[in-house]
Structures are given as C-alpha cells and as structure tokens.
Amino acid sequence: MNPFTFIANNSALFGVLGVNTILAYAVYVPLSMGQFQVAQPVFCAIGGYAAGYMAIHTDLSFLPMLVIAVVLTSAVSLVFTPMLLRLSGLFLGLASFVLVGLAAAVAINLNFIGGALGLYSIPVYISSKVIWIMAVVVIAVVVVIRRSRFGLAMRVLRDDPIAAQGTGLSAFRVNVYVFGLSAAIAALAGIAQAYRFHAIGPDEFDLSVILAALTYVIVGGLNNAAGPLIGSLVIGFLTNELGFLQNWQTAFNGAFLLVVVVFFPGGLTAIPGAVRTRLRERRTTPPGSPVVLQAAGSGAPAERVS
Amino acid sequence: MPGLDTVLQQLVYTIALAAAYGLFAAGFLLIFGVLDVLNLGYAFVFMICAIMCVWLTLQGIPLWASILMTIAVGVTLGMLTDVLAYRPILRLKSLIGGVNFGPVVSTLAMGQIIAAVTQNWFGTNLISFQVTEFPTKLYTIGSITITSVQIVVVVAAAVLLFGLKLVLSRTSFGTSVRAISQNRSMAESLGINTTRVVAGVWVLSSTLAAIAGICIAIMNRAADPTIGTNYELKGFIIVVIGGLGSVGGAVLAAVIVAVLETASALYLGGQYSDVVTLGAVIVILAIRPFGLLGVRRRTV
C-alpha cells in the first residue's frame, strides 16, 4: 500500500498527529530554551475557543479567524507574563501546571463557551493536510528562530544567564517573547483541533494533554529542532499500532518513557549524533591512548585528553 | 444565608479535609523541597494505596491489617521510585534553565505505570467499604455531628505532621535531610550517606501518601481511580500557595485550600470552588510568588 493511500485512509489519525505535533512544538520552544513552563494547554484552549466561537457566531473566513485567534491568544499570554515570569525553575513549572488544571476546571463552568461539553458543531472544516501545512510552517519558524540572533540570545540566556545579562541582554524581555511564541503555537494547535474535529472542550486541554506533549518532546529530544516531530510521530504510531495492549498501553507508555529518559536523555534525535561520535572515536583513537572524555548522551563532540 | 449550625458543621468537615490535604502535601513537599523533584507520580501512589486499602478489606482482611499492608505497599513504591526513577536520572545532567527535568519525566512515567497497574488490577470503578467494616460512632455537640472517623483522621494527621516536624528538626536523620536540601555535595563531603538518607526521604514521602490515601478512603468510605488527579492538582496548589518554607507552610496552605473549598461550596455553590481556588492562586502568584511562607532558595 502506497503512503498516500495510507494517509488518506487514516486521515483522522494524521489530523490528531498534526495537532499533537504543533502542541509538542509549543512545549518544545520554552523547554529547550530554558523556560520550564507548561501552560500551553491554556493557550490552546483560548485559541481553540476563540476560533470556534468566531466560526459559530460570525461569518469570517478561515484566515482572518486564524489570525485573530492567534493574536488574541498572544495578547492574553502577555497578561500572564508578569505573574509567571517572576518565578523561576521548578516553581514556574509547578505554577503553570496549576494554571492548566484550574483553567480546565473553570472552563467547565463557563457557559458562553459551552461549559463541560465545550463548543461543538463548529462549521469550519480543514483537512489534515492543512493541519500539516500549519505544522510545517511552525517547524520552519522554529528552525529560523533558532538560527537567528534571537535564538542565540535564548541559548546564551539558558546556558549562562549572568554572563548573558552582563552583555546587556534583558532576560525578562527574552522570556516574554519565548512565552508569547509558545502561546501562539499552542493557539494554532487549539485552532487546528477545533476546525478539524469540529469540537473543542475542556477535555482537550487538561493535565493529561500537557503530560502527553511533554512525553513527545522528551522522547524526541530537546537538542534538535526535529525532536518534537519525531517524538509525536513515534509515540503516535506506537499508540496506534499497540492498541491490542489495551489497558496495559498506559503502562507501556510509562515504561517506554522511563527507558528513554534513563538511557537516551537526549531523546531519540540525539542517537545519530551519539553513534557518530562513538564511531569517530573508534576510528581516530590510536590504540593505547589515554582516556577520552565524553559528554553524556547529548551527542556533543568528545574531548580528548592527551 | 446559612446559619451558624451549618457553618460549624462545615467547619468540622473542613478540618478533616485539611488534615488529609496536609498529609498529602507534606509528602509531596518533602520530595520537592529536599530533592528539587516534581514528583508527578506521587498522586498515583496515593491513589493506589487508597484503593488497595478498600480492596483488601473487601477480600476479608481486617481493617487494621489492611492498613498495615497498604502502608507496606506505600513504602515499597517509594523505594521503587527512588531506585528506578530517581537514581538513574541523577547521574545524567539534563538541565533546562537550572531545572533537572529528568526526574519530573521519570516520576511521571512511574505514575503512568502505577495507574495502569491500578486499572488492570482493580478496575476503573469506585469501590466502597462494607458498611459493617468499622462501626462509626457519632458524637454530637449541640447540633453538630462529628464522626469518630473524622476524629481519628485529624488526630493521626496532627500526630504525623508534628512527628515529621520533630524528626526534621531534632533527629540526626532530619539534620542530614536538611543538609542535603541545602547543599547536597557539601553534605556528601561531610560524610553523610546521601544515598541512604535520600532513600529514607522517598520512603517517608510515599508513606505519607499512603496514609493520606488510607485516610481519604476511610473518610469517604470508598475509593476510585480519579482521586489521584484531583488530589494531585490540590497538592500542587497547596505547594504554590504555601511555598517551600516548611511543613508548617504546607499545613497552613492545606487549611486555606480546605477552607476556600468548603466555604465557596457553602456560599457560592459547588461549581465555583475551582474558580475561587484559581483566583486565590493568581492572587498569591501576584503578591507573593514564592508562596506565603516560601523562602527563595538558591536552586529554585
């Protein structure tokens, strides 16, 4: 069976994979850049609800609604920044977890956006192909940013915040941009969800969603822009193919995640780099030479002690 | 406007609830404060212990034996988490922004495994104690009723939390724990067997989870798999509100959360308690971001 038929037959699966990939990138951006926050489902919700609400109550076409929803979500994210970005480290992660959980609980009570059922029968349809176009755009944006001066600023801030600030970099400003970017990408995921599946409700952005996204990002690897993509595809296919495990599937997911974190801390995308480094050592290390130091698992080049 | 009687009755319920929350939060806070680990699997230990306690009694095992066996299970799970999910991650430094997120993910993985085991072993339904399991005495003071179960839970929680405070401040183990939380490598070079002490912390934390689970199961006379996620969120909220300062902070925050919950259920109707809690969290984040009694620590 050729791949195109496969994709056509499994359109819903690819739609879900697409949404997951976009959300994974929304989680990847702050995590890989040093900001351990997981509030993305909240922005997923805001984007998705906004898009759904506009679709139901107004007559705008797809692109304007998309733009408005994303801009709205980014604006709302700015409201959270002064509150959240004063925190650092684990506390920020904890606080963002709390916000996700509480936001889902609150959304159940807000009737103008559908309460516990959410918005449904959203009269817009975008195909899985469109979702993957969105995903490709997101990936391109992330890659471009990583290579830009801003990407450099983010990495410097992550690796040595004091030195970075010593050069005049404003940690707060960089963090705000990272937060806003992650919120915008999350909004895209929410919009994709709303328009592909015609419904969005509190189930789509509770704690389990963020835990799944974290899994994709970690399994994929944080040092490579392809990480979230690989992670969500691998886990998506595994989940799909291993349906026969039924109730034990969660256990499998847990065990898989544990194995990856313990043995491949750099994620699956770090494996080629690590393999390459090992081979290179084997080729270039003359027999009998002293100990070779190697950075653990991240695929960074080995240093030789000589 | 509810009368004084209703308020007092709610107060009784609130105190019992706060006791359970306090136990849960104290265990979570131990791991968070001492090891800088967000133990996402903690709520699952809590859940499986609650369910196991009920299930064991349903198999005909007397209540006191079930409780002891459940605590043993809690201890074992703590050791397992330490060995499988914490120690292997320690040697690998996966840092994001100064946060070692490896344990966050690995404890999450452990939690998933525990959740799957629970689902397969016990099913997904609510299971309840037999009515004859333990006769509950009702004490009536004026117009309010207090059950003996509530008294037992509150007393047990108070004793345990106070005991925890004493252990942390008066024993050499407690001193080692505090030393490790401040500067682990220094503690190690001073001769403290950090591996053993940390194992002790994990066991202590999961035991608290187990006891909290047992208390909830007994108070509600039932247990089901969803209490894990509910309490997980509450636990996080308590840490956010109370901060990393001390066991006392956790208790205070637990009381606040319990009061907010029951008061908003009483005055505003049940569906608004989450909104109120969200408001409280936002207020705390705005005015005291590190929690009410939180101390800004070097590593956090």
A251 touches chain B (CB under 8 A): yes
Read off the tokens for B100: 């070692």
A96 touches chain B (CB under 8 A): no
A120 touches chain B (CB under 8 A): no
Rounded Cα distance between A129 and A14, Å, is: 8
A76 touches chain B (CB under 8 A): no
Task: Please state, for a pLDDT cut of 90, what percent of chain B lies above it.
Answer: 18
User: Picking from A218-227, A290-299, B120-129, which range would have the lowest pLDDT averaged per residue?
Assistant: A290-299
Per-residue pLDDT band at B131 (split at 50, 70, 90): low
Closest CA to A251 of B126, B105, B111, B210: B111
B96: β partners: B99
What's the mean pLDDT when you consider all of chain A? 81
For B50-62, what is the mean pLDDT? 85
Residue A245 above 80 pLDDT? no
Q: What are phi and psi of B216, to 5 degrees?
A: -65, -40
Whether the Cβ atoms of residue A267 and residue A221 lie closer than 8 Å to each other: yes
pLDDT of residue B76: 94
User: Picking from A134-148, B56-70, B87-101, B119-133, which range would have the lowest pLDDT averaged per residue?
Assistant: B87-101
User: Picking from A100-109, A227-236, B38-47, B135-144, which range would have the lowest pLDDT averaged per residue?
Assistant: B135-144
Rounded Cα distance between A144 and A158, Å, is: 18
Half-sphere exposure of A223 (CA within 13 A, CB side): 18
Residue of chain A nearest B121, judged by CA positions? A247
For residues B85, B69, B258, A101, the Cα torsion angle rounded to the nearest 10 degrees is 30
Chain A CB contacts of B117 under 8 Å are 251
Task: Please state, for a pLDDT cut of 70, what percent of chain A lies above it.
Answer: 90
Interface test mutation site (partner B, options A31, A32, A36, max chain B beta carbons within 10 A): A36
pLDDT of residue B298: 42
A261 touches chain B (CB under 8 A): yes
Interface test mutation site (partner B, options A76, A88, A91, max chain B beta carbons within 10 A): A91
Rounded Cα distance between B253 and B26, Å, is: 11
* Residue that wins the pLDDT comparison between A142 and A296: A142
pLDDT of residue B285: 79
Any domain includes B297: no
* Residue that wins the pLDDT comparison between B249 and B18: B18
The predicted-structure confidence for B89-105, as pLDDT tens digits, reads as follows 876 665 554 566 778 88
Whether the Cβ atoms of residue B37 and residue B31 lie closer than 8 Å to each other: yes
A120: β partners: A199
Any domain includes B235: no
Tally Cβ neighbours within 10 Å of residue A139.
Answer: 17
Rounded Cα distance between A45 and A39, Å, is: 11
Chains A & B: contacts with CB separation below 8 Å: 159
Residue A299 above 50 pLDDT? no
The answer to whether A31 contacts B101, with C-beta atoms less than 8 Å apart, is: yes
Whether the Cβ atoms of residue A222 and residue A203 lie closer than 8 Å to each other: no
Residue B151 above 50 pLDDT? yes
Q: Domain locations in chain A?
A: 3-263, 270-304
pLDDT of residue A297: 43
Whether the Cβ atoms of residue A223 and residue A267 lie closer than 8 Å to each other: yes
Whether the Cβ atoms of residue B99 and residue A36 lie closer than 8 Å to each other: yes
Any domain includes B296: no
Rounded Cα distance between B21 and B134, Å, is: 23
pTM (2 d.p.): 0.83
Whether the Cβ atoms of residue A99 and residue A39 lie closer than 8 Å to each other: yes
Closest CA to A187 of A34, A7, A11, A29: A29
Tell the burial category of A151 from Cβ atoms under 10 Å away from its Cβ (0-12, 13-18, 19+).
middle
Query: Whole domain around residue B121: which residue ranges?
Result: 16-225
A200: β partners: A119
Q: How many helices, marked H, and strands, marked E, lie in chain B? A: 12, 6
Read off the tokens for B226: 């969803």
Query: What is the DSSP code string of A78-119?
Result: HHHHHHHTT--HHHHHHHHHHHHHHHHHHHHH-GGGTTTT-E
The answer to whether A88 contacts B112, with C-beta atoms less than 8 Å apart, is: no
Structure ipTM: 0.79
Per-residue pLDDT band at B130 (split at 50, 70, 90): low
Domain count, chain B: 1
Interface test mutation site (partner B, options A33, A207, A262, max chain B beta carbons within 10 A): A262
B47-72 in b/e form (b: 16+ CB < 10 A) is bbbbbbbbbbbeeeeeeeebbeebbe
pLDDT of residue B102: 78
Q: How many helices, marked H, and strands, marked E, lie in chain A? A: 13, 4
The answer to whether A108 contacts B271, with C-beta atoms less than 8 Å apart, is: yes
CA distance from start to end of chain B: 44
Per-residue pLDDT band at A295 (split at 50, 70, 90): very low
A186-200 in b/e form (b: 16+ CB < 10 A) is bbbbbbbbbbbbbbb
Rounded Cα distance between A92 and B42, Å, is: 19
pLDDT of residue B79: 93
Residue A291 above 60 pLDDT? no
DSSP state of B133: S
Chain A CB contacts of B271 under 8 Å are 108-109
CATH architecture type of domain A3-263: Orthogonal Bundle (1.10)
Residue showing tokens 């997980």:
B232
Task: Please state, for a pLDDT cut of 70, what percent of chain B lies above it.
Answer: 89
Helix-, strand-, coil-residue percentages of chain A, each rounded to 5:
75, 5, 25
Residue B22 above 70 pLDDT? yes
What's the mean pLDDT when you consider all of chain B? 83
The predicted-structure confidence for B158-178, as pLDDT tens digits, reads as follows 999 899 989 888 999 999 998
Rounded Cα distance between A134 and A188, Å, is: 8
Residue showing tokens 């002690």:
A305
Rounded Cα distance between A151 and A142, Å, is: 9
Chain A CB contacts of B237 under 8 Å are 98, 102
Q: What are phi and psi of A206, to 5 degrees?
A: -100, -170
Winning range, highest mean pLDDT, from A55-64, A158-167, B193-202: B193-202
